[in-house]
Amino acid sequence: MARRDGGEDPVQILQLQAYESDRGKGETPERLLNFFVRVVAFIERLGNGLGTLAFTWATVILLGGYPTKLSQRADFVYTTAIVFLEAARMFIRSNNKLDYQLFFHTKELEALIGLSSQTCRVNPEEFAQELKNGHREETFVKSLINTLNANMNPAVHCPGIRRVTIEQAIYLMDYNPYYATLFNKYNMMDALLMVEQTPSSVERYKIFLGDVGFMEHKEPLTNLVSTAKRLMRR
């Protein structure tokens, strides 16, 4: 309330100052909480970004572009650790079956098959022994065939899914003809014929910038198909 002489009422001024002081004290915990939430969100996004970068580097760059340059021990150990740590993080964050299905039907499926194929290439004996010990030979073979049948039109986000799948089959059959028998048993030849009949331009490239491929594979996919068919007929 203003005084009659035009000045401010001292009582009103004191009340206003006390109100603003109390309001400031009440907002301080809220501001701290908002700041804490922002920091946590930033750290989580930073971790997700670094995890995605590490996963992409380990799979798309190293396994997809330069597998022959990796040493048989240290590099494959580090690459495998990066891939499976990131995969484990994604499983932990998955809340339902749909997340699980989406995980295995995108780029990560190509990356995991690529990792297994290169592991088999480096040490086929140990790889095959692990499948045998777990009685998973037929299950693994059927999974590879199903992957080919389900990806007859590869997209830019997973252009090498058929290539790594066929490479995995080649490494197994080249090591042990028994796998050729299994692939024939579950109609792998039909899947290979479909790959021949459905060529895709994106499969020529190993690295993409956006939707544009700029580094081609040295060996065409048709050559890999021919090799797999030859191993199945021997």
Q: What's CA 53's distance to the chain center, in Å?
A: 10
Lowest mean pLDDT among 123-127, 155-159, 225-229: 155-159
**How many distinct helices (H) and strands (E) make up the chain?**
11, 2
pTM over 0.75: no
Assess contact for 110 and 164: CB atoms under 8 A: yes
Query: What CA–CA distance (Å, rounded) separates 25 from 23?
Result: 5
Phi, psi of 92 (to 5 degrees): -65, -35
What sign does the CA torsion over 229, 190, 116, 75 have?
Answer: positive
Residue 80 has a pLDDT of 61
Q: Convert the pLDDT of each residue in 29-40 to its tens digit.
A: 677 767 776 777
Question: Roughly how many angstroms between the first and final C-alpha of the chain, as a whole number?
Answer: 103
Give 212-216 contacts, CB < 8 A, sequence gap 24+.
213/159, 215/65
Residue 192 has a pLDDT of 96
Residue 169 has a pLDDT of 96
Q: What's CA 57's distance to the chain center, in Å?
A: 10
Q: Convert the pLDDT of each residue in 44-56 to its tens digit.
A: 667 666 666 666 6
Q: Which residue has the higher pLDDT, 204 or 101?
A: 204
SS3 state of residue 187: coil
- The amino acid occupying position 70 is L
Query: What CA–CA distance (Å, rounded) separates 40 from 180?
Result: 52
Residues near 112 by beta carbon (within 8 Å), at least 6 away in sequence: 83, 87
Residue entry with tokens 């396994």: 63
Give yes or no for residue 227 having a pLDDT over 90: yes
Q: Which residue has the higher pLDDT, 187 or 30?
A: 187
